[in-house]
Amino acid sequence: GIQVEQSPPDLILQEGANSTLRCNFSDSVNNLQWFHQNPWGQLINLFYIPSGTKQNGRLSATTVATERYSLLYISSSQTTDSGVYFCAVGDAGGTSYGKLTFGQGTILTVHP
């Protein structure tokens, strides 16, 4: 099956700093999503981005499908950005039915 690797595994920042999270995947995808898992465990949809670039406030994401990676940028980080960030991909194979394979996540801690 498709493999998803996220880096770095852990990231500690001071409030106001910028960061880049990376997601590498091993095969063609028809779906790529970035999630933020809050302290209560809920997965918050950040981006649906199988290709291209999107921005939402201080967050932006870029997926280069031909090179099999995606980047999540967080600018001017805030303490509320703390949590786990997941990348998840859907295999482009014909019978994928939208199933997602998750990376192991990046634990982000933002200190005031």
Partner 1 sequence: SQTIHQWPATLVQPVGSPLSLECTVEGTSNPNLYWYRQAAGRGLQLLFYSVGIGQISSEVPQNLSASRPQDRQFILSSKKLLLSDSGFYLCAWSPPPTEAFFGQGTRLTVV
**Binding segment toward partner 1, per CB under 8 A, in 14-22, 62-70, 72-80, 91-99:** 91-99
Q: How far is the CB of 33 from partner 1 (least distance, A)?
A: 6
**82 part of the interface to partner 1, by CB under 8 A:** no
Strand runs labelled E in the chain = 4-7, 10-14, 19-25, 29-37, 43-48, 52-56, 59-64, 69-74, 83-91, 100-102, 106-111
Q: Calculate ∠ Cα 110-112-35, nearest 5°.
A: 25
For 29, the token pair is 């995808």
**21 part of the interface to partner 1, by CB under 8 A:** no
Rounded CA-CA distance 41/99 in Å is: 20
Q: Which of 86, 89, 108, 110 binds partner 1 (CB under 8 A)?
A: 86
- Pattern of binders to partner 1 over 22-61, x per CB under 8 A? --------xx-x-x----xxxx-x--x-------------
First to last CA, the chain: 41
Q: How far is the CB of 37 from partner 1 (least distance, A)?
A: 9
For 78, the token pair is 């805030």
The residues binding partner 1 (CB under 8 A) are 30-31, 33, 35, 40-43, 45, 48, 84, 86, 88, 90, 96-105, 107
